Structure 1
Amino acid sequence: MFKKRTYTLEEAKKALENYCAYQERYHKEVRQKLQGMYMIPEAIDVIIVHLLQHNYLNEERFTKAYVSGKLKHKKWGKQRLIQELKKRDISKVNITKALAEINDEEYLNIFNDLAEKKFGLIKERNIYKRKKKLADYLLYRGWEAFLVYDKVNELVT
């Protein structure tokens, strides 16, 4: 049988400093990691305060990095970004700040490139099914409905 690994407060602090330094983390994720290390609630609170004070853990910074990364790499729209951040218990203030930093021109360019690329890959001959496939794809990725339907009508004629 495996023995549970126990950590002193200092060992856990050091481990979580490394965990947070590796990539941006959010509070809930760090709390889950500490619970997985079998830390008691009082120790978890002490470690989270330590990480916040030493700037290892910064939810605003996490949110901005998350939004930027998912927009550029996964090509998610604002609706999907908001949904995913809410799942992670990120505050509305931080979500709003991060979304405000998105450059509108860049956002629309990413949307247009994605829509045109996907449109070129849809082999469906029926015009209505083609429109539906494109619209469903873009909506699933979190793009706003007004953008999606305007683009679908522009591309599928």
Structure 2
Amino acid sequence: MKTKSLAFRQIEWWIVTLVFLIIILSNILSTGNSGNRSFDTHLLGYFSRIFIPLILFLVFYLLHMVLIPNYLKTKNKVKFILFCLLLAITSYTIVTLFAFGANITNSPFTLFYLKTMAIYLGYLVWVIFLQQLLSPPRMKDYQTYNAVRLGSIFFF
């Protein structure tokens, strides 16, 4: 019996959702240890630690669950690239404004946003490489592909 490919889009969605919830919970709980700082003076910092991961999660959802599946159906490269650029510029601007306003970063260059996007793009390139190397017709079934891709999710 041949092994079928797993529903990786859903697996990746739930793993990112779990990581997002852990980050939000950690950020909420860590603000209680602010010491002598007043809550009113650091309101933007408090909400920035919530909204920045929320924006990154929304970008992941729109890219991974909406734009890429639509591109795979329609194969319209121009529309896909334009929406991706619009999403990247808008989300980068919002994240940078929150990070700079909350003194998370001292410069208006948000390096952690670019690192997050680089990790995601690296993962997408890795997945395309795995599909071409380990999926049928090169291999008889998806068993090796499933195992390697499941293992690589945790490295990214």
| The two structures share one fold, judged by TM-score above 0.5 | no
Question: Could you say which structure has the larger radius of gyration?
Answer: 1
> Which is bigger in relative contact order (C-alpha 8 A, separation at least 6)?
2
TM norm structure 1: 0.26
TM-score (norm 2): 0.26
